[in-house]
Chains A and B, each alone.
Chain A
Amino acid sequence: MSGALRTMRDAFIEQIYNKMRHMDDIFFLTADFGAPSLDKIRCEFRDRFINVGIAEQNLINVATGLALEGCKVYAYAIAPFITMRAYEQIRSNLSISSQIKPVNVNLIGVGAGVSYVVSGPTHHCLEDISIMRLLPNFTVFSPSDWKLAELFADYSINKKMPKYLRFDGTPLPSIYEDVEDLEIEKGFHEIKKGGKICLVSTGFMTHRALAAANESDDIGVIDVFMLKPVHNELLYNAVKKYECIITIEEAFINSGGLDSLVSKLLHDNQSNIKLKSLGFNDKYVFELGDRNYLHKINKLDKDSITSAVRDFYGKRQN
């Protein structure tokens, strides 16, 4: 990890601002959710920046109408609300419609996982990976750092399909030194090559995974930044050399998230690789504290990851 702290949304919005200066068919819509980095777009492109008010359903519907007229649309709101408040609008107008007509709508959900730590379960977003992954025709992007977020800007403009961008809410250091050679559609990157154990993580949890992996050369880390579509063959080729995989996500597990993705991959390849899933269990988080504390009580902190790794070695010796 290196470099200054930066939010994914700032890095991404900056790129979209640059594009909007040259492309007059880009619209930026928000459900009354801002960011200092958004002010330039708000002030400079008054005819293409639209605040629909606290109305996520209309945010999706208006975005759809603009996209059906050929515009490239960014719809911006807090992650749990843009996904769940307007899920049926997303399903009907983006997922279903885009199968017949091009609909380039990019949903930017800020506050993935428990980014909004002390705001409680309404503002935590632990369901989005599962529910957005199940929608046909959708791309689900879950970057671990702002450089990946930045890289996605060109792709979001050019690929005329609906997309969900799952951004962490807090400033984070960058993980990637250089993203120029990354293939977005490959969907993942083996950040650290290991021996027997591979931590497969997404979003913020890749930072946790890397911290835990630094303890031993035996632990590899794969960052899955595209949760859909996934390049199954390449991903399997990357994980098949390991004896054990631990998936780590700031989301509910056993519910169709990253753990399900990897589990199906192993199943389809009749693999004997052991699999363990770390994430939130089947209950909401009312406890208060900082992110580390919430992770600790839900067994997602560095020590819990290390203990899961040790557990594998313990069982192996038996």
Chain B
Amino acid sequence: MHILQDKQKLIGFLKEKALWVRRQTLMIHKIAPETRLASSLSDVEIFVALYYGGILKFDPKDINWQERDRFIISKGHGAISLYPILADLGYFPMEELKRVCKEDSFLGGIPDIIIPGFETTNGSLGHGLGVACGMATALKRKKSDSAVFVLIGDGELYEGSVWEAIMFASEHKLDNLVVIIDNNKICMLDYCKNIIDLTPLEKKFRTFNWKVKTIDGHDVRKICNTLHPLKIDRSGRPKVVIADTIKGRGVPQLEGDSLCHIKSLKEGEINDLLKGQK
């Protein structure tokens, strides 16, 4: 695991990594325009903080290492930005990034359990938290220190099965469970507030007896400073971090567009963006 001891250096390193992941995600989108770009850009800093910020315990050489922390990407459709991170860490060769959605590749438009580093079947929404509850229950019974992290999209909260799991987690005191909501506030066709308003989200989770924190989901320092103590905290309650993010972060054509989820960029637009970034 890569942990830089110097905090200042670490934050700088994470920011650099986030920039690199954005570029790589754009390049993947160039090869495979059907990948969901906007929702894969809102969670970049969350992935970077988890994997490079010393939050997750993992071993790319032993992907089923019993002591690893489990990370379920429930919002599977918006997770191609994890591909460059997993490749960089050694889960599979970097060359694979050039073949996303191509014949013989295992990296699809929506990640699957077949990809080294992915714990579960993703893409169909609303399953991740319930599966995480099962994992967290098993780990607690085994007296394991490992934590279970889940990334959920805010639009995914419309699935009823998520609330079945929210009730389950607090009832069973799953304090080894940390949920991160990628709160980018846009669904496929509109802003969530125009579909069914999810606010006040903090209050909803608190009512279900969860520990809740709200942070800027693009601030790697805040993500690290929030997730690390929450992971260690074992005080009987499951924990949720509402990470306020921007869908399509870093791409002016997408940011703020209520239909950005289903928009693909043209090759020329991607090239211009790549030129504009270091």
Q: Do A and B come together as binding partners?
A: yes
Given A89-B127, A100-B114, the answer on whether A67 and B121 have CB atoms closer than 8 Å is no
Given A58-B161, A68-B135, the answer on whether A53 and B120 have CB atoms closer than 8 Å is no
Residue of B nearest to A73 (CB): B134
Which residues of chain A are within 8 angstroms of B113 by Cβ–Cβ distance? 96-97, 100-101
A132–B133 Cα distance when bound, in Å, is 25
Give, as a whole number of angstroms, the nearest-CB distance from B265 to chain A.
29
Residue of A nearest to B160 (CB): A57
Given A55-B164, A61-B165, the answer on whether A93 and B137 have CB atoms closer than 8 Å is no
Which residues of chain A are within 8 angstroms of B127 by Cβ–Cβ distance? 61, 64, 89, 92-93
A39-59 contacts to B, CB under 8 A, are 47-48, 50, 52-53, 55, 57-58
Q: Which interface residue of B135, B139, B142 has the most chain A CB atoms within 10 A?
A: B135
Given A58-B161, A89-B161, A100-B113, the answer on whether A68 and B130 have CB atoms closer than 8 Å is no
Per-position contact with A for B130-170: 1 when CB-CB < 8 Å, else 0? 11111111110110000000000000000011001101100
Q: How large is the interface on B (under 10, 10 to 19, 20 to 34, 35 or more residues)?
A: 20 to 34
Residue of B nearest to A100 (CB): B113
**Are B132 and A65 in contact (CB-based, < 8 A)?**
yes
Indicate if B124 sits at the interface (CB-CB under 8 A): yes
**Are A65 and B130 in contact (CB-based, < 8 A)?**
yes
A48–B172 Cα distance when bound, in Å, is 12
Which residues of chain B are within 8 angstroms of A58 by Cβ–Cβ distance? 130, 133, 161, 164-165, 168
**Are A70 and B133 in contact (CB-based, < 8 A)?**
no
A109–B34 Cα distance when bound, in Å, is 40
A48-101 contacts to B, CB under 8 A, are 48, 50, 52-53, 55, 57-58, 60-71, 88-89, 92-93, 96-97, 100-101
Which residues of chain A are within 8 angstroms of B130 by Cβ–Cβ distance? 57-58, 60-62, 64-65, 89
Q: Which interface residue of B130, B134, B164 has the most chain A CB atoms within 10 A?
A: B134
Main secondary structure, interface of B, reads helix
Give, as a whole number of angstroms, the nearest-CB distance from A227 to chain B.
24
**Are A57 and B138 in contact (CB-based, < 8 A)?**
no
Which residues of chain B are within 8 angstroms of A47 by Cβ–Cβ distance? 141
Q: Which residues of A contact B (CB under 8 A)?
A: 27, 47-48, 50, 52-53, 55, 57-58, 60-71, 88-89, 92-93, 96-97, 100-101
29 example contacts (A-B, Cβ-Cβ < 8 A) are as follows A27-B138, A50-B172, A53-B168, A55-B164, A57-B160, A61-B129, A61-B131, A62-B130, A62-B134, A62-B165, A64-B131, A64-B134, A65-B130, A65-B134, A65-B136, A65-B137, A66-B135, A66-B138, A67-B134, A68-B131, A69-B134, A69-B142, A71-B138, A92-B124, A92-B127, A93-B120, A96-B113, A100-B112, A100-B113
* A-B residue pairs, 9 tightest by C-beta: A65-B134, A61-B130, A69-B138, A58-B164, A65-B135, A62-B134, A57-B161, A55-B164, A65-B131
